[in-house]
Structure formats: C-alpha cells, structure tokens
Amino acid sequence: MLLLDGRLVPGTGGSFETINPATEEVLGTAADATAADMDRAIGAARRAFDETGWAADHAFRARCLRQLRDGLRRRAEELREMTIREVGAPRFLTFGAQLDAPVGDLGWFADLVESYAWESDLGRAEPMGMPSHRRVRREAVGVVGAITPWNFPHQINLAKLGPALAAGNTVVLKPAPDTPWCAAVLGEVIAEETDIPAGVVNVVTSSDHGLGAQLTRDPRVDLVSFTGSTATGREVMASAAGTLKRVFLELGGKSAFIVLDDADLRAACSYAAFSGVAHAGQGCAITTRILVPRERYAEAAEITAGTLAKLGAGDPADDRTICGPVISARQRERVEGYLELAVKEGGSFACGGGRPADRDKGFWIEPTLITGLSNEARAAREEIFGPVLVLLPHDGDDDAVRIANDSPYGLSGAVHGGDVERARSVARRLRTGTVSVNGGVWYGADVPFGGYKQSGIGREMGVAGFEEYLETKAIAEGL
C-alpha cells in the first residue's frame, strides 16, 4: 500500500511484482503509483508543512521518531526475513547496516532534536550606527523529496527520513522499484504505530522511474535528497535547476584499498576480499580497487583470489554467506558486460569471472578478481556494482595516493600499514569523504557520510547531514 496523506491506499496504477534475486521467484506485489498519486503525495506534504505545527514542535518530533524506531524494532524479525528475500542481503548484514543499525539510528536523531541549538545569540552591535540585537535561527527547509536506491534500502530510506523529520520537514519518499516492500513497511508503521500527522510522510512505491523526475521538477518540493548513480544524479541536478531547489546527492564510487609495503599482506588482502564482495559488491562506498606494492603483486593476487574462492556466492539466508546475488537480471548483465570489457582491455581473472556453475536460478556472479589492468582501464575506473575487484600495483606511498586520487569519484577508501602514523598520513592525502585505517569502521549515526568530486554534494548522517535539511535565518531587532 501507498502512504498518502495519512492513509494506506492502493496505487491507481494497480500493482507490480517484487522478485527474490536469489531464486527469481515472485515474492508478491506492491502498490504501483502513478503521476496522479505522486501529485497527491506532494500536495499532502506541502499542506502538512504549511498548515500544521509539525516544524515548530521539537519535542513532538523527537517522540514520533522514537515511536517509529520502536515500531520497526517490534517487527525486526519479520523485516529481517523480508530484507533477505527482497534485497538478497546476506543475513549477517541485517544485524548491521541492512536493518538493525539504521533503525537504532533514529534514536540518535531524536536525541539531536532535543539537544540541538536551534537559535544562537550574536549579541548587540551597531551596524551603520544603528543599535541592533542579532540572532540566528535554524529552521526546516520545507518539503523534501527523497529518492532512494535498492542496495541498502532500510539504511538509505531512514538516513533521509530520520534527519529530515528531525529537522521539521515533511517528506515524500520514492523508493526504487526493485525493493518496494522495504519502503512500504515504513508507511505501515508510520500510519499504525506513530503519531506522525497525516501528510508529514508519504511513501510512493511505483514501477515508474519517472515519478522521481516528477519530484525533482515540482515547485512545491523545496529540497531533493537523492542516492544513486552519478549519471542519474546529474539528471536530478539538472531537473531541479528549473525551480532552483536545493539538492543533496550521494552518488557513485570506485574506492581504493591501499596496502602499504609494511602491512601484513595476507591480513590486508584477505580483508580487502571480504569487504569488497560483501552483499555482492553492491555498495557505493565499497573499496573495489586494491592497490598493492608492485614487487608483491603476484603474492597479493594469490592471497586475494584464494580468499574470494573460499567465500564464494551463497544463499543470503545462510548465516555464513558474505556474497549473495546481485539484485536483478539487468544488474547481472551490466556486471557481465564489464567482465567482458576487462578481458578486451587485457585483464585476466585470478578468480571468478562468470556465473557460479551450481546455480541455474537467481542473479548470481562469482566473486571475481581482475589482474593485469592499469588504472586507465574502464573496469578500473567505472563503478561496476558487483562482486568484482581490480588488483593494481603501486610503487610506494606517493604513487599509491596518486592512483587512488586518479578517479572521477571520491567517496571512500582504506589504508592498511604496519606504521599507524604512516598509514594515517596516507589517509589524510586521499580526496575522499570517508577513509578506513587498518580496518577502522566509520559508519555511525554521528558520522557524516558523503563524497568529493563526482561522488556527490553534501553529507548524510551526523550533525552535518541533519543540517542539510535546515535553512538559516538571521533576525535583527532594533534597540
């Protein structure tokens, strides 16, 4: 069902199927919204912002966010199984970023509502000889259009919804057609288990990608928060320019995992393999370029390929699975296109390179390591979004930094080295929004996430992410 103006309703376009990517079975159907439904959602969000006290009542918003968190927690096991089946997410990830962590993060934003300095006093001044008392207020932007992808649906839906609501905005959420149930359940919990007023949140599932463009163009929408590919991000930005609305863009990545010459090569390469193909590599911040000392390239290839072969591709419902299926036949074809391209560019497969021989149903790609390419190859420069890693040689710290930064993207990165201060020094030189040093985990509600260059505009999560959804107003009173 859609959530429109406080009511759970069917889509006027009927329904569309959602598919289990591990088996290709039809799980069921989701409400299929039309442009008319989206128009109604935008209108409801506009009225809720303009005509209710939602934006002004900080304590009420904090309470509603905690209600949403608690309602989702009560349905945690149901949501866990749904996420494994609809997203193809390995079970182990649902105890972290695929479910439990983003639900818990709602509490952090509720706390922030109560502790945030909504107004600051600049004191008295006499500009142009006129005595004045100045204050600065932070206020909600207004109506937020949130457009989200399929790879980490709970995390990304809630990373937009939580801070946007905490800031006092109203929201229209347009999720990806591949994972409509993960968004529809938010509408159910909001309608049935929270006091969030009608129109404050609207959830619009649809098979029509064009509804996202409708959100970006509509003058009633004040800000668009989009997560997805860089190519689509450009289209969102261009479309939003017509009404000069603000945009937050969290886009693609081709992040580097740098192994320094004093690192434990086996530990570093094994960790790079594990992290690179988790959830079939379907994460924008996953490190998919592994940079190793040139003189140890062959050894690194053997270690990384051996780890990938042991991990394999498995049933996401299995507790031991790290790499599950990719989301769809379309995505599998995209990944296979890059595998063919890598061979044409002169690369070879140290591991994987195709579909698992033992699976005739589902959208599977073997964990794959490509060797023999330079950083100029398309397979080394473009985001593949599959369980495919590229091994590249470097000639020391300066060369590793040069190669890592030689990318249109700048979302994430990793550095492994024996000398921690040296590793930190390399990390500081990377032009990326997040960096892990020796396995450090940067994910958290309090940590801003986003990228440099073509990896996006703005930050999500943390105080910085919360403030993306605020306007600044200066008030001066004559004395």
- Residues belonging to the active site: 250
For helices 180-193 and 153-166, angle between their N-to-C axes, nearest 10 degrees: 40
SS3 368: strand
AA letter at 286: I
Query: What is 313-374 written as a DSSP string?
Result: ---TTSTT-S----S-HHHHHHHHHHHHHHHHTT-EEEE--S--TT-SSS-----EEEES--
Sort strands 413-416 and 287-293 into parallel, antiparallel or unpaired: unpaired
24, 2 in Cβ contact below 8 A? Answer: no
Q: Which two tokens stand for residue 106?
A: 């709602």
CA distance 138 to 86: 39
Show the tokens assigned to 416: 């492994």
Reading the block at residue 436, the tokens are 């892990």
- On the CB side of 225, how many CA atoms lie within 13 Å of its CA? 34
Q: Which segments of 343-457 are extended strands (E)? A: 348-351, 368-371, 388-394, 409-410, 413-416, 436-437, 452-453, 456-457
Give me the residue label for tokens 């940079």.
Answer: 291
Residue 428: count of CB within 10 angstroms of its CB: 11
Q: List, in order, residues 6 or more apart from 130 with CB less than 8 Å away.
A: 478
CA quadruple 259, 260, 265, 267: dihedral sign: negative
Report DSSP state, residue 261: T
Structure tokens at 407: 């990318």
Selection from 445, 444, 2, 44 nearest residue 186 by Cα = 2
> Using the 8-state DSSP alphabet, how is residue 35 labeled?
H
Phi-psi region of 203 (alpha: psi -120 to 50; beta: other; left: phi over 0): beta
